Amino acid sequence: MNDEDFKIFLGDFVDMLTELEACIAKMRGQIVKLVGVEEKPKREWSWNPDKIKWEKVQGSKGEFERSVDVDNPEFKTMLKDLAEHNGKLTRNGVFYWVYRNGSTVGRKRRRGSTK
């Protein structure tokens, strides 16, 4: 197979994937109609991580951020949310966790996440 044949193959493959994606979306809509199952609405977060003070830290697995901004209402709301998720959650490609002391939170971008 030469370069031109490979480019044609890749173009056809991308076209097939695009059509498959459209078919899946159409089938999902039909399933919702038939079974009455609706997709979960996108999660609304009640806390803004940009309003929390974070410090960069170097750990054994690389750089991450940590916060002990306990007097901040955003931090308190985040802690409650983390408690509801057993101390760990991922939001917009960022993984958050609570330390054992219960008042320190760490965060690190998930691998492959661009936002």
Helix intervals (H) in the chain: 3-35, 73-84
The predicted model scores a pTM of: 0.61
Q: pLDDT tens digit string along 37-84?
A: 766 666 778 899 999 999 999 988 889 999 999 999 999 999 999 999
Phi, psi of 99 (to 5 degrees): -70, 165
Candidates 45, 40, 59; CA nearest to 94 is 45
pLDDT for the residue 114: 58
